[in-house]
């Protein structure tokens, strides 16, 4: 398994570009099942998870091709409605194929995704939404078996905002009979991006980005073209890479508005951040303060930037209390940061970070999940000596060419093929 060697002590300066959003392109790819024809997506990041999604579509009988960040998906019905365990177990987001299959083909057999490192990740809210629309749902031998004569519009109130649940129900409702109302919907930018593509295909979705989404069912949708929004989590990660080394880094091709909660917290901590058009710049900073962060659904501070921000707080001149409210086990990176000599006290969902600038010492550490791997690379940028991050395949799931982008900014990072 590949490792990443990070040699600390090099300030990052310069300009880098964000790639397309992983968490937008995945539901977009699965929405293609709703309409025959050739779907064309631009600004698609070259990620392991994107390849997994393409292989799932191919297993259903679709054709896909990827070149120069453009993904083409040709759908001519499906040869099966089964999303196998072998594929779903590799990528939980595969559960998003359920809504499109059920809505258009009236049946679906999708493996339960199973848990992952950051939590049990249940799909009960997804299934309750489908049941509310009239689907018969059974779970048998690790598979969700769903069927319906035709989904019916329904009023669905999520007990807590769920990104995937909102996306699955929104896609399913586009071809249902009648109107569906989703209340307490998730408001992430990726949901707006998906709604925009569904409407381009001829769906009638209103309110995406707010907590109430209204979808009026239509008879048929048609394939069309779309450009994926920038990845706000990658952009935030690159900004923090510049910030933690005290350098000046500009991230272009991003959406500053989607980074508001991170920008506010970095400013509160003492960083000067400027934005213009599609770029955000963090300016050189000699020292910053500890600030408290609580993760929560958008537009609050994103859970997907929690680990990266924690690395930044290890270099503050004070104390930071980070509270993780979205996932029950998203502090695996804490023990690895402690191996680098960080002073962090983890509790169940709260971690207290006592900042100590310049005190991190390079060491071998292990990535446990996608964002934890990014956090450890960031910490390695400022640790003395070498930090060797193992299981770096986690990073490749959600970051396109991270080491190339960091090296171009002046980082000393190298991938060791093992």
Q: Residue 126 or 391: which CB sits closer to ligand EPZ?
A: 126
Task: Determine the Cα–Cα distance for residues 139 and 312; give it in Å rounded to an integer.
Answer: 43
Beta strand residue intervals within 24-162, DSSP E: 37-42, 63-67, 70-75, 82-83, 107-111, 136-140, 143-147, 155-157
Q: Residue 164 or 247: which CB sits closer to ligand EPZ?
A: 164
Task: Determine the Cα–Cα distance for residues 355 and 131; give it in Å rounded to an integer.
Answer: 49
Mutual angle of helices 232-244 and 370-382, in 10-degree steps: 20
Helix (H/G/I), strand (E/B), else coil: 158 = coil
Active site residue 116: yes
Residue 9: CB minimum distance to ligand EPZ, A: 28
Contacts of 197 (CB under 8 A, 6+ apart): 28, 31, 224, 226
Distances (CA, A) of 315 to 41, 65, 236, 270, 285: 40, 44, 17, 12, 12
Q: Residue 124 or 268: which CB sits closer to ligand EPZ?
A: 124
Interface with ligand EPZ (CB under 6 A): 22-23, 26, 93, 119, 121-126, 160, 162-165, 186, 303-304, 326-327, 370-371, 398
Distances (CA, A) of 82 to 87, 91, 108: 10, 15, 6
From the list 293, 297, 296, 370, the residue with the least C-alpha distance to 333 is 370
Active-site residue (options: 116, 254, 285, 375):
116
Q: Residue 127 or 313: which CB sits closer to ligand EPZ?
A: 127
The answer to whether the beta carbons of residues 52 and 91 sit under 8 Å apart is yes
When CB distances to ligand EPZ are compared, the closest residue is 164
Residue 160: CB minimum distance to ligand EPZ, A: 6
Q: Alpha-carbon dihedral of residues 352, 355, 358, 360, nearest 10 degrees?
A: -10
Residue 72: CB minimum distance to ligand EPZ, A: 21
Residue 371: CB minimum distance to ligand EPZ, A: 5
Q: Residue 82 or 167: which CB sits closer to ligand EPZ?
A: 167
Distances (CA, A) of 317 to 20, 70, 126, 275, 353: 34, 44, 43, 26, 10
Q: Residue 121 or 214: which CB sits closer to ligand EPZ?
A: 121
Task: Determine the Cα–Cα distance for residues 306 and 325; give it in Å rounded to an integer.
Answer: 11
Task: Determine the Cα–Cα distance for residues 302 and 262; give it in Å rounded to an integer.
Answer: 8
Q: Residue 34 or 186: which CB sits closer to ligand EPZ?
A: 186
Cis previous bond, 299, omega within 30: yes
Task: Determine the Cα–Cα distance for residues 136 and 109; give it in Å rounded to an integer.
Answer: 12
Q: Which residues are catalytic?
A: 116
């Amino acid at each position: 398994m590949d490792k990443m060697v990070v040699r600390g002590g090099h300030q990052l300066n310069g300009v880098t570009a964000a790639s397309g959003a992983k968490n937008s392109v995945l539901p977009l790819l699965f929405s293609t099942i709703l309409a025959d024809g050739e779907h064309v997506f631009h600004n698609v990041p070259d990620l392991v998870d994107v390849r997994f999604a393409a292989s799932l579509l191919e297993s259903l009988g679709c054709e896909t091709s990827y070149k120069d960040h453009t993904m083409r998906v040709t759908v001519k019905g499906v040869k099966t409605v089964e999303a196998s365990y072998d594929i779903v177990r590799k990528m939980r987001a595969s559960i998003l194929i359920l809504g499109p299959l059920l809505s258009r083909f009236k049946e679906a057999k999708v493996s339960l995704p199973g848990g992952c490192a950051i939590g049990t990740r249940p799909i009960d809210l997804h299934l309750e939404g489908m049941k509310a629309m009239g689907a018969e749902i059974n779970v048998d031998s690790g598979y969700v078996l769903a069927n319906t004569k035709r989904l019916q519009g329904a009023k669905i109130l999520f007990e807590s905002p769920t990104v995937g649940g909102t996306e699955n129900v929104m896609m399913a409702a586009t071809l249902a009979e009648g109107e569906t109302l989703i209340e307490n919907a998730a408001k992430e930018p990726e949901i707006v991006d998906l709604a925009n593509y569904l409407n381009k295909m001829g769906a009638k979705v209103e309110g995406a980005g707010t907590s109430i989404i209204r979808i009026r069912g239509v008879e048929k949708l048609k394939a069309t073209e779309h450009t994926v929004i920038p990845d706000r989590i990658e952009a935030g990660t690159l900004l923090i890479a510049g910030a933690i080394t005290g350098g000046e880094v500009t991230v272009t091709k991003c959406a500053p508005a989607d980074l508001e909660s991170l920008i506010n917290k970095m400013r509160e901590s003492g960083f000067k951040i400027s934005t213009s058009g599609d770029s955000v710049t963090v300016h050189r900073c000699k020292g910053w303060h500890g600030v408290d962060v609580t993760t929560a659904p958008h537009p609050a501070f994103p859970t997907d930037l929690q680990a990266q921000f924690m690395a930044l707080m290890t270099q503050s001149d004070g104390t930071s209390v980070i509270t993780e409210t979205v996932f029950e086990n998203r502090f695996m990176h804490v023990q690895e940061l402690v191996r680098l000599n960080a002073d962090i006290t983890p509790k169940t969902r709260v971690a207290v970070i006592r900042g100590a600038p310049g005190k991190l010492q390079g060491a071998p550490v292990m990535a446990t999940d996608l964002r934890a791997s990014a956090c450890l690379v960031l910490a390695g940028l400022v640790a003395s000596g070498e930090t060797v991050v193992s299981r770096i395949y986690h990073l490749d799931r959600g970051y396109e060419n991270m080491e190339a982008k960091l090296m171009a900014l002046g980082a000393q990072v190298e991938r060791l093929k093992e």
